[in-house]
Homo-oligomer: A and B are copies of this chain.
Amino acid sequence: MTAEVKPSSPPLTERQEARRRRILHASAQLASRGGFDAVQMREVAEAAGVALGTLYRYFPSKVHLLVATMQDQLQHLHTTLRKRPPAGESAAERVAETLMRAFRALQREPQLADAMVRALTFADRSVSPEVDTVSRQTTAIILDAMDLPGPPDPEQLSAVRVIEHTWHSALITWLSGRASIAQVKIDIETVCRLIDLTGPEPR
């Protein structure tokens, strides 16, 4: 279930790889302060030491840039989470625990979270492939936490999708100050019950 971010088509030279990394770093840096609005393309370019045109060659829009930033952060998160797998009894508990852990990680950088999530939901069709990658990464994290014996069945996949929807949308309501952390926790736990509903029992 390893979901590596695709190294994509043309292999980059070392300097190009470094540029790309500098850009993503600058993006995350700026986002950590003022959130979405603070990630201004001219500033990112300057902070990364590249020309504006170059920035646009690497990331065709601000949304692309921030979604790529999210891919980057998610990969870190996934790696971190794997080191200490959740300890719950049931799959539902493990998933809820994992998501709340991820949530606390985002809490530490709320502005960064804001920038990434806003970009993700604002993305139009032209960013679909990249958004899809993020979605696959999230799915991988959840399935990892479920720690199923075999491959998931379609019903479980649907439950996972619903959990993703909830996770995503709950994050937004928290970021915009319309829900408390406690409420997010309750919603996550509520939706995770779906897992035990679909899994072992006969239908």
The one of B155, B170, B198 in contact with A165, judged by C-beta atoms closer than 8 angstroms, is: B170
Q: How far is the CB of A85 from chain B (nearest CB, A)?
A: 25
**Contact A165 B169, beta carbon cutoff 8 Å:** yes
List A64-98 residues whose CB lies under 8 Å from chain B. none
CB-CB < 8 A to A118: which residues of B?
A: 121-122, 124
Copies in the complex: 2
CB-CB < 8 A to A178: which residues of B?
A: 128, 131-132, 135
A162 is an interface residue with CB less than 8 A from chain B: yes
A177 is an interface residue with CB less than 8 A from chain B: yes
A54 is an interface residue with CB less than 8 A from chain B: no
A-B contact pairs, 19 of them (CB 8 A): A36-B124, A121-B122, A121-B172, A128-B178, A131-B176, A131-B178, A135-B173, A155-B190, A158-B186, A159-B190, A162-B190, A162-B191, A165-B170, A165-B187, A165-B191, A166-B169, A168-B169, A193-B194, A193-B197
Residues of A within 8 A of B (CB): 36, 114, 118, 121-125, 127-128, 131-132, 135, 155, 158-159, 161-162, 164-166, 168-170, 172-173, 176-178, 183, 186-187, 190-191, 193-194, 197-198
**Within the assembled complex, what's the spacing in Å between the Cα atoms of A74 and B187?**
24
CB-CB < 8 A to A187: which residues of B?
A: 158, 161-162, 165
CB-CB < 8 A to A36: which residues of B?
A: 124
The chain B residue with its CB closest to the CB of A124 is B176
Q: How far is the CB of A104 from chain B (nearest CB, A)?
A: 19
CB-CB < 8 A to A176: which residues of B?
A: 123-125, 127-128, 131
